[in-house]
């Protein structure tokens, strides 16, 4: 099951994986994303009546991983380095009091996580 599948104002599909607490499978959303991308490439969402009246972009879906800021699984950052650059993703840490109102306290995107390599030493800077 997908937590949330939505469409942006520009017509791009977006998979939103929600976690209320730390989870042993921090990138379960990547599995959801791959299924959505496959169905989207086949034109199945519009053929089966999803998002009526909206023209869907041909671009691949976006992926958002959302969790309370202090409960983002510690392995998430490491695993995110291995996601294909073709997948646009974002991690959103929300305030721990999210039941009283959702407020983002941090965001990460691929460009925020790029490793800087020193070509002389081959070490991460």
DSSP string, the chain: --SEEEE-TTS-EEEEEE-SS--S-TTHHHHHHHHHHHHHHTTHHHHTTTTTT-PPPSSPPEEEEEEEGGGS-TTHHHHHTTS-TTSEEEEEEE-TTGGG---EEEEE-GGGSPPPEETTTTEE-
> Given the structure tokens 């969402």, which residue do they identify?
45
> What residues does each domain of the chain span?
4-124
pLDDT by residue for the chain (125 residues), tens digit each?
568 999 999 999 999 988 877 665 657 888 999 999 999 999 999 999 999 999 999 999 999 988 877 777 777 777 877 888 889 998 888 887 777 887 788 788 776 655 444 445 444 44
- Which residue in this structure is represented by tokens 């510690």? 74
51 burial level (CB within 10 Å; 0-12, 13-18, 19+): middle
Closest CA relative to residue 29, chosen from 113, 71, 87: 87
Return d(Cα 33, Cα 28) in angstroms, integer.
9
């Amino acid at each position: 099951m997908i937590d949330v599948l939505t469409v942006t104002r520009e017509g791009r599909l977006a998979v939103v994986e929600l976690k209320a607490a730390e989870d042993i499978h921090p990138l379960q959303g990547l599995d959801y994303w791959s299924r959505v991308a496959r169905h989207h490439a086949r034109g199945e969402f519009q053929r089966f009546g999803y998002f009526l009246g909206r023209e869907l972009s041909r671009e691949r879906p976006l992926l958002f991983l959302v969790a309370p800021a202090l409960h983002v699984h510690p392995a998430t950052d490491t695993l995110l380095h291995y996601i294909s650059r073709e997948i646009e993703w974002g991690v959103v840490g929300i305030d721990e009091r999210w039941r009283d109102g959702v407020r983002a306290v941090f965001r990460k995107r691929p460009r925020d996580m790029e490793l800087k390599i020193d070509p002389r030493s081959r070490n991460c800077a």
